[in-house]
Structure 1
Amino acid sequence: MARLGLDFGTSNTGAGVMAGGRPFVIPLEDGASTVPTAIFLDFAAKRMVYGSAAADAMRAGDEGRFMRALKSVLGTPLAREERNFLGQRTTLIAVIAGFLAEMRDRAQNFTGMTFDTALSGRPVRFHSDSDTRDAKAEADLRMAYDLAGFRDVAFLPEPQAAALAVAATGRVLVVDIGGGTSDFTLCDRANSQTQVLANRGLRLGGTDFDRVLSLAHAMPLLGHGAQIGAELGSASHAAPRALFHDLASWEKIAFVYDAALLREVRRWIRLAQQPVLFERLAEVLEAHLGHDIAYAVEAGKIAANGTGAGRIALDVVERGLGADLGRAALTTALCAHADAIGAEAVQTLADASVAPDTVDHVVYVGGSSLLGVVRQAIGARLPDAKAQDAAVFTAVVEGLAIAAE
């Protein structure tokens, strides 16, 4: 039996094996090289729907619960907290296990092979601020693989896997910026051999970029920062921030739809100086539109990075509602995060006692590595290194397939 290379990502997941001496990325849906890491709990059919079909069900307004970015809950109490899903008490680890089992089944159906072991990618650091939580996250993911029916799973840092698949030679810094983390592998490559000099990781990625943009440009249209009056007297205070932060965080959106919270927002409407803002917020909570907003923010980010003229379109909440997002605003909002990533890249070199001017190539991997503000931050610190793109969404999968062989 072959070992499956599986890259379970915050935003997207891919699988691969070696075929004819080359890594082969297995199409997991409709010929696509990756599948969205998304799950929809279909209340009517009492089943879980995965990938693009999950997102389609959410957008269609089917009755159920949509979840994305579940990788971000690994290592947190939320991962093992029992909740009622489809009529039974279970954990988010078990929900992730269902997703992993589905990806294995799709890989088996396409290849005709049987996979009972896996080589899984993992961030260099699930949690960069806590060794204990980081170890807990890997233990949670290992449990998910076990529940999914894998007999054994081994782990390889994602940028180290990608380093096996890139074409660059010399001294190479692989920069892998995904949905939840930014990871770095410094290595020397010659004659298809890779010597790893240092690995480093930071819990900061595309979902964090989306949260910053959402809080700055989308959530104010729903009342973030608006004033609420007191029940008695003329005093006022800003609306509590926690709800808006949860609505702006991919992994938390599914858990904000609470009847008591909706009643509280309706109280804000009565006391607000600008009630229309909280009327929109109530509509979002009542109609479960949080993920629609998150997708709109993501689309605006991509457009602003590409053409310089994006828009966060919230027509799903109110016709014509939205916020323009240009490249300058994108850079302003994300520059602090980009600087943190640039600093982490330089620290990776310091870990190996390597001078920046000895790095020949910076190879970018992961969807969020396409952001210009991030590349500028790294390029400014490594001006002598040649920037190079690998297969942004599949380099990790290809490297896992090579390593699994």
Structure 2
Amino acid sequence: MCATVLAVDFGTSNSAAAMLEAGAVRRIPIETGAETLPTAVFFPAENGAMRIGSEAGKALIDGEEGRYMRALKSILGTTLFHETRWVGGKRRSLAEIVTAFLAVVKQRAEAQTGQDFSHVLSGRPVHFHSADPERDARAEADLRGCYEAAGFTEIRFLFEPEAAAHAANPDEREDALGLILDIGGGTSDFSLFRRNGSKTEILASHGIRLGGTDFDQEISMNHVMPLLGHGGLLRRSFGEGLLPVPNAIYRDLSNWASIPFLYVRETERAVEDLLRHAVESEKIGRLQDVITEQLGHELAFAVERGKIAANRESAAARIDLGFIDPALSARITPGSLNAALSGFREKLRTAIMETFLLAQIPPNRVDSLVLVGGSSLMRLVSDEAREICPGATLRRSDAFTAVVDGLALASAEAFSA
């Protein structure tokens, strides 16, 4: 039975697959030469075959005409997930697109292993949506439906930080306590656990809807969007005085999930109206170029690269915006990065402390802090964790594969009942 279970970490930014083989984790390269792939799709403009992962990103970078989409997981549990839109020459829903992505993952895993995977153990965040149990349940139902439509007949879920706990290497001392900090693209999840021999005991799990895409959005709003007119002023159509430029387009343009939905005539008309009334028309003109030339994802990738550089404490980091204007860039420093993300520190701290409250265990009892997920590499995460648990050892797990490894290790037990 275990050999037929596919472990899938369907992430906001990256995905991975694995299986348990002879008691050991076997990661399955569902993208050539890589153990993970970007959770992204590209649909050519006129009915071409869907591309996923790095191939989708390459099509975007190469300037192929079509629709690029990323961060689809963040739409689970919303009405938008089942609405149809014109994508790649036909009307499709996001549910159909996620299903197609998972179907390719299944097909590639089967081709790589020679197995027929009818069973899947999928990771899921502790909460898809913070403080909204109804939407949270709907999100899992949405994802379950996609797995079913992709060809799986038995589907089970495990909280992502609990999966990571199965793969963690905590303090070797008997009864040592570990805290998983799984900071992904869309959610931050925490599990307090104890390892008893080969057994992993989960003491409490908690999570909030906050992740790397939120970090990117705030960095973009603080560093890039002012160069496109955000924070500027508009002249009134009638009468004297000035009005602030509305925020809505900028918020959507800085959000991975909402970028594709800006490329409609309604948005173009709204930007044209802004341009007619703008005090700083050059900046709004850049916004118009981004919308009409569909440069939103290139902008988001540039912000992501700048974030990584500044997080490495590069004082000379810049967000290169040459694809909008050859001379355009935005300076980003460790200090400006910290300022942009300062509002998230209290949310992270509160969520971590709530995990300890759920377990009724004080933070000073923790022996190991285990960082998981791409966004756990951000300094604000390790800084907050160290401040809460100053006596704990900080351990960096395999950021992008810890969850899928743990899912594979837990797969036999998940389907034993």
- Structure 1 residue runs without a partner (length 5+): none
Q: Which residue of 1 is the match for residue 21 of structure 2?
A: 19
In 2, Cα distance between the equivalents of 1:66 and 1:172?
39
Counterpart residue identity of residue 378, structure 1? A
1:203-232 deviations in Å (ceiling 9; x for gaps): 000000000001111111111111111123
Contact 2:213 2:255 in 1 (8 A): yes
Q: Which residue of 2 is the match for residue 109 of structure 1?
A: 111
Matches within 5 A, 1:194-233: 194-233=200-239
Q: Which residue of 2 is the match for residue 243 of structure 1?
A: 249
TM-score (norm 2): 0.95
2:347 to 332, 335, 340: 340
Matches within 5 A, 1:2-401: 2-169=4-171, 170-309=176-315, 310-401=317-408
Contact 2:67 2:88 in 1 (8 A): no
Counterpart residue identity of residue 69, structure 1? A
Contact 1:262 1:285 in 2 (8 A): yes
Contact 2:46 2:88 in 1 (8 A): no
Alpha-carbon shift at residue 45 of structure 1 (Å) = 4.4
- State the identity %: 44
Counterpart residue identity of residue 307, structure 1? E
User: SS in structure 1 opposite 2:103?
Assistant: helix
Counterpart residue identity of residue 178, structure 1? G
Question: Which deviates more, 45-54 or 323-332?
Answer: 45-54
Counterpart residue identity of residue 13, structure 1? S
Counterpart residue identity of residue 27, structure 1? P
User: SS in structure 2 opposite 1:30?
Assistant: coil
In 2, Cα distance between the equivalents of 1:33 and 1:338?
31
1:59-96 deviations in Å (ceiling 9; x for gaps): 11111111000000001111011223334333101110
Contact 2:182 2:190 in 1 (8 A): yes
User: SS in structure 2 opposite 1:251?
Assistant: coil
Contact 1:253 1:291 in 2 (8 A): yes
Alpha-carbon shift at residue 19 of structure 1 (Å) = 2.2
Alpha-carbon shift at residue 192 of structure 1 (Å) = 1.9
1:218-257 deviations in Å (ceiling 9; x for gaps): 1111111111111233322111111000000000000001
Contact 1:187 1:196 in 2 (8 A): yes
Counterpart residue identity of residue 299, structure 1? R
TM-score (norm 1): 0.98
User: SS in structure 1 opposite 2:258?
Assistant: helix
In 1, Cα distance between the equivalents of 2:199 and 2:366?
17
In 2, Cα distance between the equivalents of 1:327 and 1:31?
33
User: SS in structure 1 opposite 2:395?
Assistant: strand
Question: Which deviates more, 2-11 or 217-226?
Answer: 217-226
In 2, Cα distance between the equivalents of 1:84 and 1:267?
25
Which contiguous aligned blocks of 4+ residues in structure 1 show a shift greater than 6 angstroms? none
In 2, Cα distance between the equivalents of 1:5 and 1:399?
9
Contact 1:342 1:374 in 2 (8 A): no
Counterpart residue identity of residue 212, structure 1? E
Alpha-carbon shift at residue 270 of structure 1 (Å) = 2.3
1:154-198 deviations in Å (ceiling 9; x for gaps): 000000001001111410101100000000010111312111100
Q: What is the aligned residue count?
A: 405
Contact 2:46 2:89 in 1 (8 A): no
In 2, Cα distance between the equivalents of 1:235 and 1:144?
52
User: SS in structure 2 opposite 1:398?
Assistant: helix
